Structures are given as structure tokens and as C-alpha cells.
Amino acid sequence: MLQEWFYKNIGKVTPEVVEKWFVYNEKEPLLFNTGLFLGLFLVFYFWYILLRKANTLRMIYVIIFSLFFYYKSSGIYFLLLLGSAVVDYNLGNLVHRTSSVLNKKLCLTFSIILNLGFLGYFKYSNFLIDTWNQISQGNLKGFDVILPVGISFYTFQSISYIIEVYRKEIEPTKRFVDYLFFVSFFPQLVAGPIVRAKDFLPQIYQKLNVTQDDINRAFLLIIGGLIKKTVISDYISLNFVDRVFDLPNSYTPFENLMASYGYTIQIYCDFSGYSDMAIGVALLLGFKLPTNFRSPYKSTSITDFWRRWHISLSTWLKDFLYISVGGNRYGTFAGFLFPGLFFVGLIIWGISFSATSTIPLLIAVASTVIFAFTFLFSKEKEKTMYTNVNLMTTMLLGGLWHGASLRFIIWGALHGMALAVHKIFLEYYPPAKRKIFFITPFLKFFAIVVTFHFVAFCWIFFRAKDFTTALQIIQNIGKVTFDFNQWLTITQGYQNVFVLMFLGYFWHYIPEKVTVAIQNVFKAMPLITRAIVLGLVFWLVFATASAGPQPFIYFQF
Amino acid sequence: MNQNKSYFFQSWLIVVIAIASFIGFKTFLPRKLFPDTTANSKNVVVDSLMLEAVAEGGNLSDEDTLTNKTISFVSNPLGIKFSSEKFEQYKGYQYLIPFFEKLYQLETSKKGKARIAYFGDSMTDGDMIVQDVRTQFQSVFGGEGVGFVNITSESAGSRGSILHEFSSNWKAQSYLKTKSPLRSFGVNGSVFFAKDTVNATWVKYKAGRNRFATTLNNPTLFYGSSKNRKASLRQIFGKDTVYKKLNPISMLNTTQVADNVKNVKVNFINADSIPFYGFNFDNGKGIHVDNFSSRGNSGLPLGSLNVDLMNAFQQKLGYDLIILQFGTNVLNYGSLNYSWYERKMTSVVKHIKECFPGAAILIITTADKSTKYDMEMKSDSAVSPLVLAQKRYAVKAEAGLVNLYTLMGGDGSMVKWVENVPARANKDYTHFNHRGAKEIAQLIYKQIDTGYQEYKKLRALAKKKAKPKAVVNDSVPVVNDTVNE
């Protein structure tokens, strides 16, 4: 009877199935939105609670689970995580202990080179080789490497630790176990948020504690994250966005436009949804991770956007890259190198196309001139130049951090340019000047719309598999004409997708008061009701995931 | 302190209850949030003939007489006979002999020309697959040009082998949606009319960058008969405006508009009531492959091609091989019984043979397609019965067969093609991307070429035997003996 029930609802448990639960499978990483994670977490969490007072034992227990979690998605590379933790921990101690400034610097440099070296080898070596081959017509062979999951995230965490130790913002951890716990902590291990040592380490030494409010917040984050990631993002990407981005020219201009809006909400839901789940899971364990997204598409400017989008990354970049290359105070060789390379490369690219079309050269020259104007027209030319050049460096490298491809560099460059342009705009039209009481709301609305569309435009480069595809999409969007019947038919054809997209945007744009009110309703529910709501969300995830891809639709008008 | 403990346990309890209630929900709430619907509205491209055939039903399943059977062939007049095949591995090279012979003449004498009409659905849209097959053939047997191109096409934008633009005021009728067209459909299954008297009606082609298609070779307009004698084409060459009178007197007429150019734009003046079909681009030698793809096509509409007009096309273009690659659009209709499709397609193939006398027919089966079963993407359960039906009508109608489903890897292969890094098929688990299309083209070409190589051997053997007729040689089987009775 019980066996039958178990078989029907959970599936047959054979030795092979159990083996599959615990053995690395490249295709099935242990994501938070999988049934397997839920099952494992249930067991893990139970023992975690029992061990909550045995500090060291509990930490070791979490480390083992974290390493297993990492092994499930990256296989043998969990050793890399372990190995680099050993080195970084010892270097951190060295940096702290040695009194010679030179030695401190050496240790710091060595650690950063080592961390970035691993990241570079796994993530960028083949990109560099390809680029080299293209430029020199060479035929160097690429490395046969797979990218260990989350290496971009934990590398940055390790770097934050050693720099903070160097800057004396924190003390190094007392024991290796503490450090390993920080680096390998599974909730944020594979997809962030990038937790800063100074935010996290103090929590290790505090008594483990959760409040009623923490628990409620955790479940709300998990519920929201699950819906955003699994229901909205995964569904619209599989059934609409991916198809259009695969072959944009096979679709009508309106579909191209909607795919671009679709990707804009998809990437937000995917990324912030997963972050929210990570923060929620960590909170269930009694750890508070920083907020990673604050309704970024409500931004009124591009500067505002970067204070709301992937906050843990942008603050990391600001503190460790922007400041390191000079910030808004001075210029450095490194600060000028990348923007210099970028603009020179851009112009060379423009010239190389000048035989067939003058447009690339025009774009190249125009963007260089605009960038120069952003500081030439400033009252403090030199200071603004340093600021803008350093900002550009940050955005270019920040773009590259997202993936080894030219299109991420372009995406970063667009954002860097926009930030510089916004700075000079602010100088001429400071907010105080723009305060006219009844127009202000309209201006704000206008600013949100413009910022949103700029960001959506940049996402096209981020998503399209190459530059040509991106241009095709932009070209197709340029052909959009208002045709109510056509739009209606397409909307009916992609009914589910468009409903979910609408839901995603609606959720994003409703005033915070409403969200808080809804959350309060949840918090006021009795325990059993909250649990059932969570169960209902699990079902929602399950029912969305089990729907097959929608059949292909071709429209003809 | 105690408080703290209780919150942890509370939270654990919530997870436990949530899981329990989830299992409960799973049993009595629907399994799928979004049911797999087949969208249907007047603007969605679907094959109306197929919808009717599906609606008619047709579960009259024929007796299964083919499976496990060995198919033997009758030797052709030259005495060439491919060895018998098991139904399972059926390829039917024997039926491609007329085409192989053409290839042989091309290869050995470097003279003459051969032509393929490649009919398909959205899989070959935008010249995918076909452009690679064309390049393969042309690199071996010579020939330049992309072949026959429609006047307007819904997929012009996605085609890279020729850049194609047209004014929006063409009236187009396609065998996919129109039952009784104003005039018979062309070989491409479409017919176009220039009706606008106010705005210019034009079409523009520009050569793409594919090998053997970097110029537009002898662009030639194909059109039907009409009483209209005032029609002309207007072209602008530099500062000169050139008019060419159209002469729609025969059932099928042609007018060449240029020699070898990079691009061509043609305005249609006073051209109402003339049925236009398209432009042909070829250099008059070697091999040419025309892509007649229409999104949503099941193959059944080919039955509505007009025999007389097709014969006229056959006279002018001279097809040696007709390729039919269909199937994707008949997969989504629930039933696993494809006897209706088999029956209808058998007669379609017969019809095609009447339309293009002398041409060999090659059926390419559906590719693999995946659907989600229990959270996992697997081969759609309709794929293998459909492949079987396609194999059966290939045998019945005496056509060659490329089993694309097994060629690409058989069961579960589409999932692999999609998940491959870099991807070879799109996320709809149906269509190939450019990389995948190239590979598919290679697989198809390789099979045809294997048949051709075998043909050359058999041909040499038959020639040898044909000469010393009187000598009876025990070691060589006499041709007549192996004729299947």
C-alpha cells in the first residue's frame, strides 16, 4: 500500500535511480528548482537544525553538503574549489601577518593573478585563441576545457576576501574551516549573489538565529524566485524568445520586437529569481545575504539602473575594479588601456568595412567623439576624464565577466558610454533644475521609459549569438508598423507566452506598497496555510515544467 | 532561545507540509499548466488539405504486407539492377537510375545539364538544407545559380543564398491555402498577380555569397498565358530605362531580363491578369537545384498541380529528380495511424510522375522531433509510425528513400542535436539551425552519392556483359535470370 503510493507519487526507487541522485551529471546540475534539491534539502535541513548548536560540526556538515552540491554540477572541479580555497586562505593570512608593505603587495598580487588565472584559463583562453586566429589567420588549437559552474562567482568572492584583508577592512578568518565555509556556502555558490567577506564572515561568528520574520521572508523569496525563474523565464525563453533569436528573419517585425521585450523580462526573472531563491535558502539556514535586485526596470536613469541591477556585482566592480584603477580621482595605465584598446579596435573595425559601407566607420567615429565630449564639455575636464575612462574600463571588463565573447564587450561598452553620457547630462541639468511640480511625474515616467528601452536594446547584443543576428533583430524591429489585426493574431498565437510576459512586467511595475501588502497577507496566514501556498507553488513549477514546448507557429500576413 | 529553535522547526515543518500538499495537488490538479494546443487561425500557416484529410479520418489501416519483406527490383533496359533490399533498410536506388544516368553523362562528357526540384516544408525554408545540397552537387558536377525563385515569399528575409525583396502589392496564391486559384499554380505551388495600377509592382533580387551563386545567372521570368498584350517589364540600367514587352501567348512563357548580373530589379507595367510564377537563375550547364519550400506543407497539396502546366515546366526546365521532404507538419495531430497519409501520398507521388515524366522521385522522411513526456524531452511517439508510412509509400510508388530519421541518429536524436554544443537544431525541437542544416545536407548528399557510385559500378558491369552477348559465362549471372518475376 505504502509502497504503491510511494511509487505512484515519487517514482520507483532502484539502485540506479539512487545513484543518479548522487552522481555528477553535466546535464542535470542540482538547481534549486528541481525536485531532487527539494528532497535533499529536506533531509539536509533536518540535520542542520539538530546540529545548530554544534558550531564547528555544523559548519563541516554544510561544507560537505556544499562540496557535494558543487560536485553535482561541475564534477571533479570541486577539487579546484577546495584547492584554491587552501591557497587563498593561506595567502590571506600572509597578507595579514607580514608587516612589509612589499610582501603584502606581493601576496595580494599573487593571489589575484592566481584566481584570475584560473578564471582566465577556463573562461577566456579559447576566446583569446579564437580572436588571435582571426586576426593573424593563425591556426592555434583551442583548449579542451569545460567551464566549471559558478567559477566567475566564487573567484570574485575569494578576491574580495583577500583585498578586504589587505585593505584592513576585515580580519582573516580564524580557521580554514571558516574560510571554506564562506567560499563554498552552497546557496550562493553557483549563481551569486557575490557575497562580500565583510558582510558574511561576521555572521559565522554570531549565534545562529532566525526570527519569525526571517522565515516568512525566506519563503516569500523562494516562492517569488520559483515563479520568476521557472514559470515565467523558462517558459517564455523555450517557447518564444529562443526561437526568434535563433532565426530572427523567419519572424515578423512585431515578433522580433516582442522577443526583445520578452528577453528583457526573461533575463531579469531568470537572474533575480535564482538570486532570490539563493537568498531565501540562505535565510532558512540563518544567514543573511545582500539584496541583489531592486526592481531594476523602474530605474529613471542608467546610473540608477546599475544601483538596482545585480547589485552584488556592481558594488564588487565599483569597490575592487573602479576604485583600483583610479576611481574618480586619478588615471592609471590599466584604466586607460581597455577603453583605449576598445576605441582603437572600433575604429580599425570601421575602417576595415569602409570599402563596403561607411556606416561602421561612422558609428566608430561617432561613439569615440561622443565619449570624448562627455568629459571635454565638463567643467572639470581632467577629473571627469578619469572618472569616465575608469567607468568605461569597469563596464568593459564587467561585460566580459558575463561571458567570453565580443558581444558582452559591446554590451558593456554601450552601458559604459551611457553612464558617461548620463554624467554630463546631470552636470548640465541637475535634478534641482528639473523640479517643476506638475511636470515632474511625467518626466519621471518618460525617464523610466527611455532607460528601459535603452537597457532592452543593449540586451539584444547580450542575447544574440553573434553580431550579425543582433543587427538582424534591430533591423527587423525597425520595420515594425502598427497593424492592430496582425498584432492581435500574433498575440493569440502566443497567448501563454504573452500572458506570462505581461505578468512578469506587471509584477515588476506594481507599486511596492501593493507588494508589501500582499506579503503581509502571507505573513499573517497560519503555518499550515503558508505551507499549502508553498506546495501550490511547487505544483505550479511542476505543471509549467511538464508542459512540452509549444508547437511551432508560422504567421503569414 | 527556545523561540529560536521553534522557528527553525517551524520552517522545516512548512517544507514538509508543502511537499505533502504538493503531492496532493499533483494528483488532482492538471498535470500541465498549458495544454499542448495547436493554434489555428486564418493567419497561421497550415495546410488546409491536410486538415481536411485529418478530419476525414481514415483509420482504414491497410494490411501490413511490407514489413519484413524483401524488395527486389526489375532491371532497367540497360540491364542494371541494384541488389534486393530488406524493407527495413529500403533505399530504392533502382528508381533513381534516370537521375544517376544524367549525373554519369555530366561527369564523363562534361556536357548537358541535370535539374532537381526539391519540395519541402519549413525545414527547407530560407533555402536551409537545399542550399547546401545544391553547393555539394554543383561542386562535383558543375553548374551555377540558385535555380527557380518565387516572385514573393514569406521567408525571403531568412534566405541568404539570394537576397530577395518585392513590393507589397502582389497578390499571391499558394496551393497551401487556396483550393481554386485564379490560374493554375506554377511548379513552385504558387501563382502571383500584379493588380495594382497606382503603385509600382516590382521584385528585386541580389546575389548572395554562397559558392556558385555569387552572380545572378541569366535571370529569366516565367509566366503563364493571358489576353493582356500591353504588359511590359521596366528595368533601369544606370541612366537607361529599358522596357521589355511580355508575350503571354503560350501556356508557359519565359522572358530573360539580363545576362550575368549582381542584382536585378524588375518593375511590372500594365501586367494585370497575367499569372506570374518566378525567376529562374542558372547558367545553362551542370546541375541546378530548385527550392520549393512552403511553410506548413504536408506534401498533399502537390496533388493539385496541373499536369499540363507541369508538363510545360518540365519541357522548359527538364527535371531529372523530384525530392519530396515532408512530415513535420503531419506530426502534431494526435493520431498515430498514418494510413490516410500513406494512401494520399502514394497518389501524390503518382501524380508527380505524370507531371514530370521521366523524372526520378526521392522521398526524404521526417526528421526526428521531440516532445516532453514526464518532464523529459524524448522522440515524439508519432515520428516512427510516420517514418514507416513514408517508407511504405516510397516502396509502393516506386521512389527512392532517404530515411532522415535514422540518418540523424534515430530515437532521441533531436534532443542530442538541440543540446549539442554548438547547437545543431533549434529549441522547438523540430527545426535545424544553419549548422545542423549543413550536416543534414551532407547526410542526404552522401546517401545519394553512395547510390550513384554503386550505379557506376553496376553500369560498367552491365556494359561489359552487354558486349559479348553470345558468350555464356557461368561465373557472371545472366541479366535475364535475375529479373524478378
User: Which of A46, A247, A535 lies closest to B22 in CB terms?
Assistant: A535
In a domain, B327, yes or no: yes
Task: State whether A486 and B43 contact (CB < 8 Å).
Answer: yes
User: Which of A242, A535, A540 lies closest to B18 in CB terms?
Assistant: A535
User: Which of A210, A246, A556 lies closest to B43 in CB terms?
Assistant: A556
Pairing assessment for the beta strands B162-166 and B201-207 based on DSSP bridges: antiparallel
Summary mean pLDDT of chain A: 84
B471 band by pLDDT with thresholds 50, 70 and 90: very low
H or E segment and range at residue B268: strand B263-269
**Are both B277 and B291 inside the same structural domain?**
no
Q: Is the pLDDT of residue A475 over 50?
A: yes
Which residue, B248, B283, B318, sits at the end of a domain? B283
**Are both B251 and B202 inside the same structural domain?**
yes
Provide DSSP, B398-421: T-EEE-HHHHTTSTTHHHHHHHSS
Task: State whether A542 and B26 contact (CB < 8 Å).
Answer: yes
Pairing assessment for the beta strands B113-120 and B321-325 based on DSSP bridges: parallel
Instruction: Calculate how close chain A gets to B338, using CA atoms only, in Å.
Output: 20
For residue A53, give the chain B residue with the closest CA.
B5
Question: Per-residue pLDDT averaged across A70-88, rounded?
Answer: 83
The domain spanning residue B96 has which CATH number?
Answer: 3.40.50.1110
Q: What's the pLDDT score for residue B204?
A: 93
In a domain, B436, yes or no: yes
Phi, psi of B237 (to 5 degrees): -110, 105
Place of cell 510508388: B397
Question: Per-residue pLDDT averaged across A311-336, rounded?
Answer: 85
Interface with B, mutate which of A477, A489, A546, A555 (most B CBs under 10 A): A546
Task: State whether A493 and B27 contact (CB < 8 Å).
Answer: no
Give the range among A197-211, B66-80, B421-435 with minimum mean pLDDT. Answer: B66-80
Q: pLDDT, tens digit, for every residue of A519-532?
A: 889 888 888 888 88
Q: What's the pLDDT score for residue B3?
A: 54
Helix residue ranges, H only, A234-324: 235-236, 242-246, 253-284, 302-308, 311-316
Instruction: Calculate how close chain B gets to A527, using CA atoms only, in Å.
Output: 7
Task: State whether B16 and A247 contact (CB < 8 Å).
Answer: no
A547/A414: higher pLDDT? A414
Query: For chains A and B, what is the number of CB pairs under 8 angstroms?
Result: 180
Distance CA B465, CA B75 (A): 14
Task: State whether A242 and B15 contact (CB < 8 Å).
Answer: no
For residue A218, give the chain B residue with the closest CA.
B11
Task: State whether B44 and A554 contact (CB < 8 Å).
Answer: yes
Task: State whether A536 and B25 contact (CB < 8 Å).
Answer: yes
Q: pLDDT, tens digit, for every residue of B405-415?
A: 999 999 999 99
Instruction: Calculate how close chain A gets to B154, using CA atoms only, in Å.
Output: 7
Instruction: Calculate how close chain B gets to A553, using CA atoms only, in Å.
Output: 7
Question: Per-residue pLDDT averaged across A50-61, rounded?
Answer: 85
Q: What's the pLDDT score for residue B477?
A: 44
**Are both B312 and B452 inside the same structural domain?**
yes
Phi, psi of B292 (to 5 degrees): -110, 75
Q: pLDDT, tens digit, for every residue of B368-383?
A: 998 888 778 889 888 9
Task: State whether A27 and B419 contact (CB < 8 Å).
Answer: yes
Q: What's the pLDDT score for residue B451?
A: 94
Q: What's the pLDDT score for residue A335?
A: 79
> Percent of chain A scored above 90 by pLDDT?
16
Q: What's the pLDDT score for residue B57?
A: 58
For residue B27, give the chain A residue with the closest CA.
A9
Q: Is the pLDDT of residue B485 over 50?
A: no
B464 band by pLDDT with thresholds 50, 70 and 90: confident
Task: State whether B35 and A547 contact (CB < 8 Å).
Answer: yes
B365 band by pLDDT with thresholds 50, 70 and 90: very high
Catalytic residue, candidates A402, A415, A453, A508: A402
**Are both B221 and B122 inside the same structural domain?**
no
Q: What's the pLDDT score for residue B63?
A: 55
Which residues in chain A are contacts of B427 at CB distance < 8 A?
237-238, 242-243, 246, 549
Distance CA A275, CA A277 (A): 5
Which residues in chain A are contacts of B30 at CB distance < 8 A?
543
Q: Is the peptide bond before A551 cis (omega within 30 degrees of 0)?
A: no
In a domain, B7, yes or no: no
Q: What's the pLDDT score for residue B44?
A: 59
Who's near B389: CB < 8 A, 6+ residues apart?
B338, B339, B341, B342, B345
Which residues in chain B are contacts of A231 at CB distance < 8 A?
33
> Percent of chain B scored above 70 by pLDDT?
89
Q: What's the pLDDT score for residue A209?
A: 81
Q: What's the pLDDT score for residue B474?
A: 45
For the complex shown, is ipTM > 0.90? Answer: no
**Pair B97, B361: CB distance under 8 Å:** no
Summary mean pLDDT of chain B: 86
Q: Is the pLDDT of residue B320 over 90?
A: yes
**Are both B193 and B69 inside the same structural domain?**
no
Q: What's the pLDDT score for residue A56?
A: 85
In a domain, B362, yes or no: yes
**Are both B190 and B125 inside the same structural domain?**
no
Interface with A, mutate which of B8, B38, B366 (most A CBs under 10 A): B8
User: Which of A219, A243, A551 lies closest to B426 in CB terms?
Assistant: A243
Interface with A, mutate which of B3, B7, B48 (most A CBs under 10 A): B7
Question: Per-residue pLDDT averaged across B433-451, rounded?
Answer: 94
> Buried b vs exposed e over A4-35: b needs ≥16 C-beta within 10 Å?
eeeeeeeeeeeeeeeeeeeebeeeebbbbbbb
Say which DSSP state B88 is in: G
**Pair A460, A466: CB distance under 8 Å:** no
Which residues in chain B are contacts of A532 at CB distance < 8 A?
17-18, 21
Who's near A212: CB < 8 A, 6+ residues apart?
B7, B10
Q: Is the pLDDT of residue A14 over 80?
A: no
Q: What's the pLDDT score for residue A439?
A: 73
In a domain, B390, yes or no: yes
**Are both B239 and B306 inside the same structural domain?**
no
The reply to whether A9 touches chain B by the CB within 8 Å rule is yes
**Full residue range of the structural domain in which residue B185 is found:** 148-283
Distance CA A249, CA A433 (A): 45
Place of cell 487561425: B41
Task: State whether B32 and A547 contact (CB < 8 Å).
Answer: yes
In a domain, B12, yes or no: no
Interface with B, mutate which of A37, A247, A533 (most B CBs under 10 A): A247
Give the range among A19-33, A412-426, A467-481 with minimum mean pLDDT. Answer: A19-33
B62 band by pLDDT with thresholds 50, 70 and 90: low
Which residue, B234, B266, B283, sits at the end of a domain? B283
Domain count, chain B: 2
**Are both B274 and B324 inside the same structural domain?**
no
Task: State whether A556 and B45 contact (CB < 8 Å).
Answer: yes
Which residues in chain A are contacts of B36 at CB distance < 8 A?
547-548, 550-551
**Are both B351 and B431 inside the same structural domain?**
yes
Q: What's the pLDDT score for residue B29?
A: 77
Who's near A363: CB < 8 A, 6+ residues apart?
A346, A350
Say which DSSP state B65 is in: -
Q: What's the pLDDT score for residue B484?
A: 41
Q: Residue A34's Cα: distance from chain center in Å?
A: 20
Give the range among A350-359, B27-36, B303-312 with minimum mean pLDDT. Answer: B27-36
In a domain, B377, yes or no: yes
Instruction: Calculate how close chain B gets to A374, using CA atoms only, in Å.
Output: 39
The domain spanning residue B189 has which CATH number?
Answer: 2.60.120
Distance CA B408, CA A478 (A): 38
Interface with A, mutate which of B2, B175, B428 (most A CBs under 10 A): B428
In a domain, B1, yes or no: no
Q: Is the pLDDT of residue A10 over 70?
A: no
Who's near A392: CB < 8 A, 6+ residues apart?
A338, A339, A342, A371, A413, A416, A417, A420
B472 band by pLDDT with thresholds 50, 70 and 90: very low
B483 band by pLDDT with thresholds 50, 70 and 90: very low
Which residue, B283, B305, B336, sits at the end of a domain? B283
B353/B467: higher pLDDT? B353
Residue A96 bears catalytic tag: no
Task: State whether B29 and A543 contact (CB < 8 Å).
Answer: yes
Which residues in chain A are contacts of B157 at CB distance < 8 A?
249-250, 476
**Are both B203 and B299 inside the same structural domain?**
no
User: Which of A38, A548, A555 lies closest to B43 in CB terms?
Assistant: A555
Phi, psi of B286 (to 5 degrees): 80, -150
Q: Is the pLDDT of residue A368 over 60?
A: yes
**Are both B202 and B311 inside the same structural domain?**
no
**Are both B250 and B375 inside the same structural domain?**
no
Q: What's the pLDDT score for residue B406?
A: 94
Task: State whether A284 and B11 contact (CB < 8 Å).
Answer: yes
Task: State whether B12 and A46 contact (CB < 8 Å).
Answer: yes
Q: List the beta bridge partners of residue B293.
A: B120
